[in-house]
C-alpha cells in the first residue's frame, strides 16, 4: 500500500473540516501560494493580504510563442486567439519573455475562505478552456507528455524547409 500523501495549506494538513475552517490561516500582510495543473498547464496562484482586502494573482504558462520566421501562420493564429479571448474573458492572454501566458489579478473581499479562493480561481480559469483548446491546436501544452527534445510547436505548423535550388 503506497504512503498517503498530505496537502498542507497554511500549516494545516488536509483533510480539513471545511465547515469548521472559517478563514484561511493567513497573518495580516501574509502571503499564501500554491500551484496546480489544468489542461496540462501549470498555474501558479499567489494570495496576499492587503489593508482592507486580499489580492489574488493567477498565472499559467501556456507555452512558447513561435517566432514569425519559425511559423508565421501559427503566430498569426495564436495572436487571433489571444485577441478574441482577451475581448471575452476576465483573465488575459499575453506574451511575456517569449512565452504565451494566461493570467489575471483580482481583489477578494475578506475573510478569504478556502472555498472562496478556489472558486475565484476556477471562475477565472475555466472560461478560458475553449481558448486553451484552440491554442493546443498550435502548441503542445507544457505539461503534456512528449519525447525529449520535441518542440512545443506542432509539426503541421512548422515552416517547411525550402527545396534546394536546381542548377541549369
For residue range 59-92, what is the model confidence (pLDDT) as tens digits? Answer: 999 999 999 888 999 999 999 999 999 999 988 9
pLDDT at residue 128 in the model: 95
Q: Which of 67, 148, 147 is nearest to 100 (CA)?
A: 67
3-state class of 74 per DSSP?
helix
Q: 137 in the Ramachandran plot: left (φ > 0), alpha (ψ -120 to 50) or beta?
A: alpha
pLDDT higher than 80, residue 163: no
pLDDT at residue 125 in the model: 92
pLDDT band at 44 (very low <50, low <70, confident <90, very high): very high
**Higher per-residue pLDDT: 53 or 133:** 133
pLDDT higher than 70, residue 156: yes
Domain ranges of the chain: 30-144
What CATH architecture is 30-144?
2-Layer Sandwich (3.30)
Q: Which of 72, 73, 51, 75 is nearest to 64 (CA)?
A: 75
- Measured distance CA(10)–CA(32) in Å, rounded: 7
3-state class of 33 per DSSP?
strand
Bond prior to 121 in cis (omega within 30° of 0) = no
Amino acid at each position: 500500500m503506497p504512503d498517503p500523501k498530505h496537502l498542507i495549506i497554511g500549516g494545516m494538513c488536509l483533510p480539513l473540516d471545511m465547515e469548521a475552517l472559517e478563514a484561511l490561516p493567513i497573518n495580516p500582510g501574509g502571503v499564501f501560494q500554491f500551484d496546480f495543473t489544468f489542461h496540462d498547464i501549470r498555474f501558479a496562484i499567489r494570495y496576499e493580504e492587503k489593508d482592507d482586502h486580499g489580492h489574488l494573482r493567477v498565472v499559467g504558462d501556456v507555452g512558447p510563442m513561435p517566432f514569425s520566421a519559425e511559423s508565421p501562420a501559427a503566430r498569426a493564429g495564436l495572436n487571433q486567439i489571444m485577441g478574441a479571448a482577451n475581448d471575452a474573458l476576465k483573465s488575459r492572454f499575453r506574451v511575456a519573455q517569449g512565452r504565451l501566458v494566461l493570467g489575471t489579478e483580482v481583489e477578494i473581499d475578506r475573510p478569504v475562505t478556502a472555498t472562496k479562493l478556489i472558486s475565484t480561481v476556477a471562475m477565472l480559469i475555466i472560461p478560458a478552456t475553449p481558448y486553451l483548446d484552440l491554442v493546443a491546436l498550435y502548441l503542445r501544452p507544457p505539461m503534456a507528455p512528449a519525447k525529449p527534445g520535441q518542440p512545443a510547436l506542432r509539426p503541421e505548423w512548422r515552416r517547411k524547409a525550402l527545396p534546394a535550388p536546381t542548377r541549369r
